[in-house]
Amino acid sequence: MSEVTTSYDAVVIGSGPGGEGAAMQLVKNGRNVAMIEKYRSLGGGCTHWGTIPSKALRHSVSRLIEYNTNPLFVGACAPRSMSFADILKHAQGVIEKQVQMRSGFYQRNGVTVIHGTASFEDANTIKVTQDDGTIEYIGTKQVVIATGSRPYHPPDVDFSHERIYDSDTVLSLKYEPRSIIIYGAGVIGSEYASIFRGLGVKVDLINTRDRLLSFLDAEISDALSYHLRNNGVVIRHNEEYDRIEGHEDGVTLYTKSGKRLDADCLLYANGRSGNIEELNVEALGLKPNSRGQLDVSKQYETDVDNIYAVGDIIGYPSLASAAYDQGRICATAMLEGDCEQRLIRDIPTGIYTIPEISSVGKTEEELTQQKVPYEVGRAQFKHLARAQISSMTVGSLKLLFHRETKEVLGIHCFGERAAEIIHIGQAIMEQKNGGNTIDYFVNTTFNYPTMAEAYRVAALNGLNRIRG
């Protein structure tokens, strides 16, 4: 092994949300920190291939649908269309702004950024290989692994074919497909089904399970299925591929049940794998699981005392929002030897389909199984003045609360701005000492007209169910 050229108090590998959270917390507490990023731009998969681009694409398509269906414009203006390339330009602009902003964070706070591929020599030495083959050895007291994940590639699918994509490579789509097969109806698959259908592409959504997004409250899952189908998406449940064949002008998918599906292209969106292979963690005695993920303690410490891991590389909950908090908690443990803070119990989910979905807390199915005496309060968006004004009347807010104590147990929202609306209820759910009750939504005064008013409507609806 060559000599160590530079030493740091801590090295963070991967500049996604988890790595950024850890690096900023460490450097603001006086540690000398280096960030190793494999790619030329900072931000990780979240910024370049995952959260930011897909949500930017979704926003553009949603606004296009709004324009073409809003009574203000229907009849008065010709319908508009956009190509996938058009909406990618908007997404690329957002990515560039995010990279510029995040680069500024590292510069202002004095974090040394090193671009290259990291691999462990031992627990205190990291080998960095740059694009031109230059190798540097870096010494460190502590390490945070935050390398994220990538789309899973089954060995029998030819992802080198120009008509077969994963959720990263689909962002390089150059032509305008008339039809697409999306294999995998999880969050990513459902979001892209909404995006492509919104652009007028024929979509076959293949689900290996019996319903969409089975972790959601069943009523919300059913609402998503209805609206996707109502908009023309063909959903095929309980199907698995037997083989996938790419052709010069399209793709054919054969299912194990004997079906044949043809389309211009295919997006494989079924599972993700941790980015672990290049790290050489075997040199540390660490053994990732079959998905390339590492086991960690509550402090995000691996089986090696000075090596920590956060984000997708450790699995659940695999959310950008949670990864940033994991990074901060991890850094605190590195600084102080312990950290009392934990991720909140009820982590909100935001699913950017069209319409949007967000939820926090228990589902009806979970409460029923646990034999909790709960009641339901609902507000239909079509009854809200703000939704009528904006012509965004699809969707609803659903409150689940304890029938006796009135404690809010779960909140589920389906419709435009659901991921924003959810945080009002989340804030109440986090209140202690009796502060979390449905009475808050009845007794407070909401701006009028707003979408937030749905909480008052839903709370009153729920209370009316128990007054008898």
CA 41, CA 243: separation in Å to the nearest integer? 36
358 annotated binding-site participant: no
Which amino acid, 233?
A: V
Which pLDDT value is given to residue 368?
98
Residue 185 in marked binding region: yes
Report whether pLDDT(82) > 90. no
Kindly list the domain boundaries of the chain, sorted by start residue: 6-151+273-336, 164-270, 355-466
According to the annotation, is 377 in a ligand binding site?
no
Residue 190, annotated as binding a ligand: yes
Tell me what the mean pLDDT of segment 241-253 comes to.
97
271 marked ligand binding residue: yes
Residue 75 has pLDDT above 70, yes or no: no
Assigned CATH for 355-466: 3.30.390.30
pLDDT at 444: 93
Measured at the alpha carbon of residue 334, what is the angle toward residues 315 and 105, in degrees to the nearest 5?
80
Average pLDDT on 339-355 reads 91
Looking at the DSSP bridge assignments, the partners of residue 266 are: 164, 181
Same fold, 6-151+273-336 and 164-270: yes
| Across 139-157, average pLDDT | 97
Asked if residue 46 belongs to a known ligand binding site, the reply is yes
Q: When comparing pLDDT for 108 and 81, which is higher? A: 108
Q: Is 77 annotated as a binding residue?
A: no
State whether CATH 3.50.50.60 applies to domain 164-270.
yes
pLDDT value at 465 more than 80: yes
Could you tell me which CATH number the domain at 6-151+273-336 has?
3.50.50.60
Amino acid letter, residue 345? R
188 labeled binding residue: yes
Provide mean pLDDT across the span 248-274: 97
Average pLDDT, the chain: 94
211 annotated to a ligand binding site: no
Residue 45 marked ligand-binding:
yes
Q: Work out the average pLDDT over 93-118.
A: 95
Tell me if 278 is assigned to a ligand binding site.
no
Structure tokens at 190: 């459902």
pLDDT at 140: 97
> What is the spatial distance between Cα 258 and Cα 254, in angstroms, rounded to a whole number?
7
For the cut 60, the answer to whether the pLDDT of residue 1 exceeds it is no
